[in-house]
Amino acid sequence: MTHKIVFLDRESVDAKVRAPNFPHDYTEYDSTWEPAEIVERLKDADIALINKVPMRAETLKQLPNLKLIAVAATGTDIVDKAQAKAQGITISNIRGYAFNTVPEHVIGLMFALRRSIVPYANSVKRGDWSKSRQFCYFDYPIYDIAGSTLGIIGYGALGKSIGKRAEALGMKVLPYDVFPQDGLVDFETVLTQSDVITIHVPLTPDTKNMFGPEQFKKMKNHALLINTARGGLVDEAALLEALKSGEIGGAGFDVVAQEPPKDGNILCDADLPNLIVTPHVAWASKEAMQFLADQLIDNVEAFVAGKPVNVVE
């Protein structure tokens, strides 16, 4: 049997994708977004490779031949899991690939914000230093990392990896998770005692807008919020207001509610010295992307061999 494999958004993975070890017909497209286009390109496929292409119920209903959706990411909120299950479609995802790249991005954002690196660098470009009466100036606050407290929302593999790095920097770590384990604190403690909070939970109906006006009021005025997980976890309008009013100290976001923000986004459009937004690249070190690409094909080969791995229920 020859399997038909279609990769719908190949340009989203900047790595070599090896050929599977079974008879197959492979087609790839740089980008695919419109539902009609998705259906047309997958109409004869039994294996779909996707990263962020939305696979909604109405789309899946038009794809009776589809047997596997191999997601080139950990998060699978772009797939309607109930409909996939109803059609007998297996979903696989990538696990354990971001153990360095995401923690390093989080630490990078934390340093940049705690030490106001971006606004100071921008001020030099504006000519502020050349106009200064002293050898330096203090227009933006600078805080040490050592001795501060990091709250981690979601204490899985990524959360623990970040925690180890934070402890090595002299930080106190306050981990929170809904799954019981030793050493956890409650959500309220993270909010009220952390100097930096980083989010590492999936986007579900329960976690949508888990950070909003009520949570920002409980945070320290100099506290930072870092989100490299999913944009929908934070009420963006409330965050922007909290940043402008000084209710919290700063934010570093690698994700927004709608990606790409084709119609604009209030965080992307804001010009604030205490806000850094990067274009969903925390996961994208060269090493991590190659690990991901290799595991993507591992998942496909395991499924075809009748021994599926990394299955999402």
pLDDT tens by residue, 165-216: 999 999 999 999 999 999 999 999 999 999 999 999 999 999 999 999 999 9
- Range 107-118 average pLDDT: 98
Query: pLDDT tens digit string along 15-33?
Result: 999 999 999 999 999 999 9
pLDDT tens-digit series, residues 61-87: 999 999 999 999 998 999 999 999 999
pLDDT of res. 61: 98
Give catalytic status of residue 115 as yes or no.
no
The band of 102, judged by pLDDT with boundaries at 50, 70 and 90, is: very high
SS (H, E, C) 76-128: CCCECHHHHHHCCCEEECCCCCCCCHHHHHHHHHHHHHHCCHHHHHHHHHHCH
Q: Tell me whether residue 259 is one of the annotated catalytic residues.
A: yes
Q: Is residue 156 situated within a structural domain?
A: yes
Q: Which pLDDT band holds residue 109 (cuts at 50, 70, 90)?
A: very high
Q: Are residues 150 and 273 in the same domain?
A: yes
Average pLDDT for 113-133: 97
Considering the domain architecture, whether residues 177 and 206 belong to the same structural domain is answered as yes
Residue 12 sits in a domain whose CATH number is 3.40.50.720
With a pLDDT cut of 90, the percent of the chain lying above it is 99
Mean pLDDT of 240-249: 98
| Dihedrals phi, psi of 107, to nearest 5 degrees | -60, -40
Give the largest CA-CA distance in the chain. 77
Domain around 93: 3-97+287-305
Same domain, 241 and 175: yes
Question: Which residue is catalytic, options 11, 40, 214, 259?
Answer: 259
Q: What is the mean pLDDT of residues 262-268?
A: 95
Q: Is 312 within the bounds of a domain?
A: no
Note whether 86 and 194 are same-domain residues: no
> How sure is the predictor about 43, in pLDDT bands with cuts at 50, 70 and 90?
very high
Asked about 280 being catalytic, the answer comes back as: yes
The answer to whether 98 and 77 have CB atoms below 8 angstroms apart is no
Q: Are residues 106 and 196 in the same domain?
A: yes
- The answer as to whether 91 is a domain residue is yes
- Out of 3, 165, 200, 230, the active site residue is 230
Position 32: which residue type?
T
pLDDT at 224 (0 to 100): 98
Number of domains forming the structure of the chain = 2
pLDDT, residue 153, reads 98
63 in a domain, yes or no? yes
The verdict on 20 and 139 lying in the same domain is no
- Report the share of the chain in percent with pLDDT over 70: 100
Q: How confident is the prediction for the chain on average, in pLDDT?
A: 97
> What whole-number distance in Å separates Cα of residue 144 and Cα of residue 115?
7
